[in-house]
């Protein structure tokens, strides 16, 4: 690998990283330090301070006070929009550094980081243009009559101070997908990135202050799960937005029930991908393969369950296995790499255990398995065939590059198989029959259905899940409104 890291990236990694609270870099009151590990090399690349109760309380108080004083929410929408647009421009100026940090911190290939980060910066611009586009309704004429007159209308206002907890599998993008609409709505935020991938959150915070977002409006604390629990419990916050596992999401709901904080959850998935016998296999084979292998399977909506119509099963599964064997696994800075490492040793161990479980349950491993490489947490793209719906590899979220495939005969059968899960985040259909596509898309219980491609995201399209895959939506106008409260005003006139 000949890639040379930028000098400014190396300087950033060597900093004593602490927390952004009320516009200042704040040291922790405890002496807890976390090593940041590059999952492609297992090397310590940076160190960050870990927040304790004092830092969480201070950040939440800062968000509360900035919101109550109105220094951001009472700014004219056009000025908020200009600042957000400038923020996007500043991030774009540093995009080469941000991409490098994402690859070092998370392990994803450069091309994946470049794509996701480019999307996310445009999401800021999308929401910067929405600040003055959401208005209420006038119901005066609807309810007036019989010699009574009313002036009645609805309006929207920001929900308040928001706690945001983001995952490690897409650190930059998941930060922006939540914070951009929250700030556009006029909220103040406290963000806790995942402890495995804390670095780009600090660059985002630095550029936000530089862009003119007032102190206290965007606070970033680095912490582990205990800091996340403190954040959820903090009485200064009005809402929690969380992306992560379904199990942790349920705990957050239980905690937020104590004071009825608003909650948005983007949780786990075990998404179905369906290849019908009329599909173009030149599109379906790489599409279905990358539905699960993109970002090494560490994607909440990954198409981890594959259903292939029986008369093309052998051809399609063989094609996917052959395709996966040609996917380069390695360091994200290698231009040929398609799959980077898994995020950590514990995640590598978990995925390995699921492969062993699949074999013990009687599934056929057609290709892949663990990588014999001590340099990083690498894992080969793995394809299982002859999987039945009761196997654990077909039911449980693995969060790694492991595909569970089986055949089906009819539309009714595959719809039942696809819906036989507690999750409902993503789904894919490969078919050239438009009637069949609409029929199946209508019947699949998932928040997102991609047809003849998989996983594309656009800022105008709402994203979220059914069932245990979450509450609410992100992106689009729905992702904006999740940070707003609706108010009704009704005035009786003389």
Phi, psi of 386 (to 5 degrees): 55, 45
Cβ(369)–Cβ(355) below 8 Å: yes
Element (H, E) at 393: helix 392-395
Q: In DSSP terms, which residues pair with 148 in a beta bridge?
A: 145
**Cα-based distances in Å from 260 to 33, 452, 471:** 34, 41, 14
Tokens 């995640």 identify what position?
347
Q: Residues 142, 144, 149, CA angle at the centre, nearest 5°?
A: 145
- 77-83: long-range contacts (C-beta < 8 A, 24 or more apart)? 77/131, 77/132, 78/131, 78/132, 80/128, 80/131, 80/183, 80/184, 80/186, 81/128, 81/129, 81/131, 81/132, 81/184, 82/128, 83/211, 83/212, 83/213
Sheet strand arrangement including 218-220:
24-26, 19-21, 218-220, 188-192, 161-165, 239-243, 262-266, 470-471
How far apart are alpha carbons 351 and 347 in whole angstroms? 6
Query: How far apart are the C-alpha atoms of 278 and 239, rounded to whole Å?
Result: 46
Contact indicator for 199, 17 with CB cutoff of 8 Å: yes
Alpha carbon distances (Å) from 342 to 38, 41, 380: 10, 11, 10
Do the Cβ atoms of 304 and 313 come closer than 8 Å?
A: no
Q: Answer yes or no: are the C-beta atoms of 191 and 175 closer than 8 Å.
A: yes
Maximum separation of any 2 CA atoms in the chain, in Å: 83
Alpha helices in 94-198 (DSSP H): 95-106, 110-128, 140-143, 171-185
> Which among 368, 22, 329, 400 is positioned nearest to 188, based on CA atoms?
22
Interstrand relation of 16-17 and 43-49 (parallel, antiparallel or unpaired): parallel
490 membership: H or E segment, kind and range: strand 484-493
Six-digit token string for 286: 């790489």
Helix (H, G, I), strand (E, B) or coil at 190: strand
Left (φ > 0), alpha (ψ -120 to 50) or beta: where does 139 sit? alpha
Beta-strand ranges (E) seen in 285-375 are 305-309, 364-370
Q: Which residues are catalytic?
A: 266, 300
Is the Cβ–Cβ distance between 423 and 401 less than 8 Å? no
Q: Quick check: 366 and 321 in contact, CB under 8 A?
A: yes
């Amino acid at each position: 690998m000949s890639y040379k890291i930028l000098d400014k990236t190396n300087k950033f990694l060597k900093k004593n990283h602490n927390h952004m609270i009320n516009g200042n870099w704040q040291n922790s009151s405890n002496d807890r330090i976390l090593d940041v590990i590059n999952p492609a090399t297992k090397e310590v690349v940076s160190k960050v301070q870990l927040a304790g109760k004092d830092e969480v309380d201070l950040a939440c108080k800062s968000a509360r006070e900035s919101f109550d004083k109105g220094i951001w929410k009472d700014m004219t929408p056009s000025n908020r929009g200009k600042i957000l647009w400038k923020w996007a421009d500043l991030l774009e100026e540093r995009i080469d550094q941000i991409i490098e940090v994402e690859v070092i911190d998370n392990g994803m290939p450069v091309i994946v980081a470049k794509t996701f980060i480019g999307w996310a910066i445009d999401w800021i611009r999308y929401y910067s243009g929405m600040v003055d586009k959401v208005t209420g309704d006038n119901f005066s004429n609807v309810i007036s009559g019989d010699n009574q007159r009313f002036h009645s209308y609805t309006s929207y206002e920001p929900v308040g101070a928001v706690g945001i907890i983001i995952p490690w599998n897409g650190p930059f993008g998941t930060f922006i997908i939540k914070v951009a609409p929250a700030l556009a709505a006029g909220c103040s935020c406290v963000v806790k990135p995942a402890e495995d991938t804390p670095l780009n959150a600090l660059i985002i915070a630095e550029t936000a202050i530089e862009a003119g977002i007032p102190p206290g409006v965007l606070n970033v604390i680095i912490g582990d799960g205990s800091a996340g629990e403190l954040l959820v419990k903090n009485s200064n916050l009005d809402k929690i937005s969380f992306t992560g596992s379904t199990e942790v999401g349920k705990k957050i709901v239980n905690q937020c029930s104590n004071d009825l904080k608003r909650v948005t959850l983007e949780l786990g998935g075990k998404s179905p991908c369906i290849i019908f016998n009329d599909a173009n296999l030149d599109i379906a084979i790489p599409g279905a393969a990358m539905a699960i292998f993109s970002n090494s399977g560490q994607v909440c909506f990954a198409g981890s369950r594959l259903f292939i119509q029986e008369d093309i099963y052998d051809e399609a599964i063989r094609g996917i296995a052959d395709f996966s064997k040609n996917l380069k696994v390695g360091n994200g800075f290698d231009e040929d790499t398609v799959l980077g490492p898994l995020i950590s040793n514990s995640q590598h161990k978990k995925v390995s255990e699921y492969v062993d479980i699949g074999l013990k349950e009687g599934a056929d491993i057609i290709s892949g398995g663990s990588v014999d490489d001590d340099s990083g947490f690498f894992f080969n793209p793995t394809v299982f065939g002859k999987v039945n719906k009761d196997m654990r590899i077909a039911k449980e979220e693995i969060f790694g590059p492991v595909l569970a495939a089986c055949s089906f005969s009819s539309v009714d059968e595959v719809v039942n198989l696809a819906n036989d899960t507690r999750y409902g985040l993503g789904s894919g259909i490969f078919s050239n029959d438009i009637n069949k596509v609409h029929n199946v898309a209508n019947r699949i219980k998932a928040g997102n259905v991609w047809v003849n491609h998989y996983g594309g995201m656009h800022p105008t399209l709402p994203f979220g899940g059914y069932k245990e895959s979450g509450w609410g939506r992100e992106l689009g106008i729905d992702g904006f409104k999740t940070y707003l409260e609706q108010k009704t005003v009704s005035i009786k006139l003389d």
